[in-house]
Each structure stands twice: as C-alpha cells, then as structure tokens.
Amino acid sequence: MKETRKVLSIKYLNMFSVPLQMLAVCIGYFFIEAISRHSLWEAMDFMKERPLVFLYNAFLIFTTTLIVYLFRRRVFWRTICVIFWLGLGIINGVLLSNRVTPFTGPDLHLITDAFQIADRYLSPFFFVVVVIAAILAVIGLIILFFKGPKYQGKMSYKLNVPLILAGVLAFAGTTKLALDKRVLSNYFGNIAFAYEDYGYPYCLATTVFNTGIGLPRGYSEESVEKIDKSEDTLPKTGEKRPNILFLQLESFFDPELVEYLDISEDPIPNFRKMMKDYSSGYFKVPSVGAGTANTEFETITGMSMRYFGPGEYPYKSVLKETTCESAPYVLKNLGYGTHAIHNNEANFYGRKNVFANLGFDSFTSEEYMAEQDDTNPNDWIRDKNLTKYILQAMESTEGPDYVYTISVQGHGDYPEEPVLENPKIKVSGASTQAENYKWEYYCNQIYEMDQFVKELTDTLSKLDEDVVLVMYGDHLPTMGLTVTDMKNKYLFQTEYVIWDNMGLEKKDKNLAAYQMAAEVLDRVGIHEGNVFRFHQARRNTKNYQVDLEMLQYDILYGEKYIYDRENPFERVKMHLGVEDAQLESIQQISENQYYIKGANFTQSAFLEVNGELIEANFVDENTLLVLDTQLTEEDKVDVAIRSNSSTHRVLTRTEKYIYHEPEAGSNKAKLEPIITEEPETEVTEESQKEKEE
C-alpha cells in the first residue's frame, strides 16, 4: 500500500513538475537576490516594487533549468542548476562586500586566478571553509549521480524537446517585450545601480553575451569611405605643438548643484574661478557613481560608450586584445611623448596592459610613487602628489608631451561617521546624519583636490613652454543622487575647464567626454586621427551619431576599411615609471641587516634574492632597509617593484647582480653585474598575456 502511494505521489508530482519547478526557481531566486543585496528585506522590497522584473529574472533561471527534461537523473541535474545559480549569487555577495562593482561577464576571465586573489575577498578561515565545502559538494554530486533517483517513466523526447524550445522562444519573446516596454534596459549608466534595478541574472547575462559593437546597418567599404571624405573640409595641421595635459579628477563635481545640501563654504573655489576665466562647460560622461575607465576610454580615443554592450568596459574586453586609434598614437606621429599617470595600482582595470595598446610610452602608477603613505582617511593617495610626476613626465622628453593623469583622492566609499578632525567644510541638509557625514567627507576631499588644481596650474604657469590643461570630473560620486536632487536635472555630467598659458580664446560649450580631445586638438590647430577629425568636421551635422557608430565598429570590430584593411597601430613597449629604479650598493650593518642603496625606490620595492622577494623597509627614495635576512656569496640580487594589487606580481626589476660578501674591514658588498640580462622596465609581449586582476 505504501509503495502504491509513493508511486502515485511521484506520478502526481511529475504531472505538475514544470509549474513546481518554476515555483522552486522563484523561491531560489529570492534568496539569490537576498545574498547579492546582503538583506532579506531589500530582496523583499525588490520583489514588491519591481514584480515584473523579479518574474522575468526567475523566468530566465527557469529557462536554463529546462535542460533537466533531457535526462532521467533529474534530481542530479536540478542539483547542478541549484549549485550553479546559488554559487553565482554567493560570488556576487562576497564581491559586493569588498567592492562597489558586482560580478560581471569580464570577471569570468579571472576564474583561473581565483585562488591567487581569494585572500582579498575571504579570510583564511572562510577560504578553508569554502575549499572544504567545494570538496564535499563534488563528493556529494558523485554519490548523487550514481545512487540518486532516476525518472522511471517513459522518456518522451518528442514532447520534452518541443517543451524546451517553447520555453526558450517564450523567454526570447518576453525579453523583447520587456525591453520594448522599458521594464528592462539595455544601457547601464551605473552597473551597480543596474544590478539593483534589473536583477542579478539579467544583468550578468547581459554583460556576458551583449558586448562589443553590433554590425551597423549599411556597413560597407563605400560607407566608410564616404565618412572619411566628409572630413576633407578641415584645414591642415598647423605648426603649434603645445604640451597637452588631461587631468581626470575622481568623482569631482560641484556639490552646490545638489538641491538639498547646505555647505558652509565653496569646496571648489579655484576650479570655479578658472571656469569663469577659461573655456568651460558641462561635461557629459558615460556613467554615474562609477565607471572611471569608461570616461577615460572616451576622452583618450574619442569613441562613445553608447554603442558598446550595457555595463561593458572596453578595457576589460576588446582593448585587452588589440590596439586602438587614440590621442597618444595620433600625437606620437607629431613628435609627442605620451605618458599616463595614476595614483592607484597599475593593474586596476588592467591599465598596465591596456595603456600599451593605447600608445602610451610610459605609465607611472602608485607603485612608482614614493608618497604612498600620504593618504586620506579612505587610504587613497592624495592628489597633490601628482604634480611631481606630471612635471617628471614632461621633463623626460625634449619635445612636447601628452600627459593623461587620473586622480583617485575623491574615490568612495564615503564614511557614514565623522572621520575628519575639525573639517574645514561643514555640510548639512541631507535626509540623515549619516548622509551628512558622507557629504562632509566628500566636500573636504574635493576641497583638497581643488587646492591641488591651483598648485598644479601655478606650477605650470611658470614653465617656459606652451601648455593646455584639461580638467574634469569622471562621474558623480556614489551618493544615490537622483535627477530631482540636481539643479541641472541631469546625472550624467560633471564640469570641465580648459586652462592654458597660451592665451587661447575663451569658448564655453557643453561637450561629451568623447568629444573633448577633438575639441582641444582643434583649438591648437591639430587635425589628425580619423576619429578626432570626424568630430571636428561632423559634430552637429546630419547622421553624426550613425556615422560615429560605423566608424567605431570599423576600427575595432570591422574590416578596418578606414586603414585600407590593416591596423596601423603596433603595441607600444610601454615603460612602467618614468625613471628606473637603480640598485647601486648593499651595505651590511649587522649579521642579518642591510642597507640597500640606489635611486627611485618606493614602498613597493623589494630586495629579490635568487628569485625570492624579501620585504624591505622604505627609508627614502635612495635607501631600503632589509631585516632578518642573510645574504651569501654569489647570491643573485636585484630590486623588484611589486604590484600593490592582490596578485602581487613583479612589475619591473633593476639590473641583476652577483653578490660578493664585504672584504675585511668594510661593510660594503661588491656587486658584479650580470651583463647578459637587462633590467625589466617595460611591459613586454609576455606580460601582455598575463591575466590581470
């Protein structure tokens, strides 16, 4: 009797397995969102406020689970689906505990580096727990596969395959309808906000499958040639070759544009004065609250992000594999030195490799800065330290320079408690005291950034050479701002100013980030580069955006008709740091303590002995102190600059030497050069293939 009831129960469940599976998916998806949002209540609010989006994402997961109807071991395959989707939810939840950006398609490239960077996201205890859980899960799956229940009924592929196809087609139709009715969006101004608004599964799938630029309608060699000819109205490039500097200020904008804030004094007085005296206006950016690299991409290449996949970072996709026409490549052909500077780690957004594909001769990251301990309360290096390295880059060549500097001081996450003693600027007016503290911290940071801007322009004004300096914020800060909060009623813009010591005419206009380089080059009489010439000739003309999309597609993904079918840009052997670190001597001060003497050392410098990194204490730019180490005769030694990222890869090395112990009565070791090896100061083809964090 019991056996009969069991059979009837299983038969009954099988009859309703499809709706029951959908119900189970809805429950599971709720917990996935709860894990991602770190809150059951926020997941509940999402489900109530956006029920159609919630059901769409559940339908997406459900569609992937239809595969179980192709197998008899349905319990096993359902378990696989549960582990897959729940695992993605856990990964996203862990990442969002340590960074602002959620788990996206480009992060899948880091799977092979997961164990190398796991210490950044998991404590040693939880890392061990995760490894043990993974091993137990594998063992459990093996047991379930061989011992678990199997579907006992007749497998009807004639019914099941059409069922799966119907589910896939229904999902495709639902997706189109949801996009048409704007239940979903295929443009993400802020990828973190998009995940909150449109759900984790949809956004993750979009960042995986919807990338690059789609084939434009009417794309052909004739169409590209027509675009090229439309630029023939421009004059020839003149003889002026001023230094061209770009300064991208992290999260910098005018907080007085926020309706509800009461600020004790102007946090950006110098920037505001320069906006009155020099060319300025609103600066349209591709993202809100995050996405520094995409504003960067637009201003360096002149290409618009609107044609790429939602939430895409070209730095993490196409630019990892190919070179791209850019301001550095264009200006190099006119005799410019090209330099990038960033007071953050070299590997962030993969810049160490990407900048070589954009034509930069050198890249000075925080690893090559001696001021790494001069940080704000959020541990970001203060921007005032950048002046030194901007001048250093300009002095490194005899001709004019293009220097692209990316600041970091204004970066969030902004503290909800007071962390500043006697802050210069007081802020009130936000809905909560925690929000006031966040704004107060932010305003004091951009006040310091504004002081840096004044110091930089004062220094540049003393140079006996022409300089044009473009300054702008890369995006609004992550403060949860809405359109109604802003006096200008727009979230996708900051402000810019074009400072110069050449007496350029003041011309105020609003510009997009992808138009800025073309505008600056036009102001100084430079009309080179296909994309920049296009903007100079075609802005505000018929089919401007349509033709820009086609030009971008042709350059990055198409047949490269604009270049006669062959990419003319070769990857640059980019130099990390402008001035090389140098190892000059080693002085033994006790049995196992040494002074390492040389030049251009930083806190990222390590003594390397026979290929093993030995931690060194930074004394000054010429001295490192090594403790608890015993060097022996014929050790191979050098000084290595190590990445500050969690991968801890060596970025560059000095020349290698063979160590010879000091002679009697002396504490100075003899260093014999190994002349067959050269110092590693460039990003090589081998390093191009490294997987970046």
pLDDT digits (tens, 9 = 90+) for 37-78: 989 999 999 999 999 999 999 999 999 999 888 888 888 888
pLDDT band at 413 (very low <50, low <70, confident <90, very high): confident
Neighbours of 90 (CB within 10 A): 15
| SS3 at position 278 | coil
* Domain locations along the chain: 2-209, 221-563, 580-688
Query: Residues 6 or more apart from 570 whose CB is under 8 A from it?
Result: 323
Residue 498 bridge partners (DSSP) = 279, 470
What fold does the segment set 580-688 form as a domain? Answer: Immunoglobulin-like (2.60.40)
- For residue 596, how far is the Cα from the chain centroid? 35
CA separation for the pair 316, 324 (Å, rounded): 14
pLDDT of residue 77: 85
- The closest of 208, 216, 186 to 198, measured between CA atoms, is 186
> Cis before residue 45, ω within 30 degrees of 0?
no
The two structure tokens encoding residue 638: 């050098």
What CA–CA distance (Å, rounded) separates 256 from 545? 32
Statement: residue 264 has pLDDT above 80: yes
Average pLDDT of the chain? 89
Q: Under 8 Å CB-to-CB from 79, ≥6 apart: which residues?
A: 141, 144
User: What does the pLDDT look like over 486-530, one tens digit per residue?
Assistant: 999 999 999 999 999 999 999 999 999 999 999 999 999 999 999
Q: What is the pLDDT of residue 26?
A: 93
DSSP assignment of 38-80: T-HHHHHHHHHH-HHHHHHHHHHHHHHHGGGGG-S-HHHHHHH
Q: Which of 156-160, 349-353, 680-684 has the lowest mean pLDDT?
A: 680-684
Instruction: List the structure tokens of 153.
Output: 């009924």
Percent of the chain scored above 70 by pLDDT? 91
Task: Specify the range with the lowest mean pLDDT, choosing from 82-86, 122-126, 217-221, 642-646.
Answer: 122-126
Judge whether 144 and 46 are in contact, CB under 8 Å: no
DSSP H helices, 524-569, are 530-538, 544-556
Q: What is the CATH number of domain 221-563?
A: 3.40.720.10
Asked if the model's pLDDT at residue 605 lies above 90, the reply is yes
Q: Which of 200-204, 286-290, 523-527, 585-589 has the lowest mean pLDDT?
A: 286-290
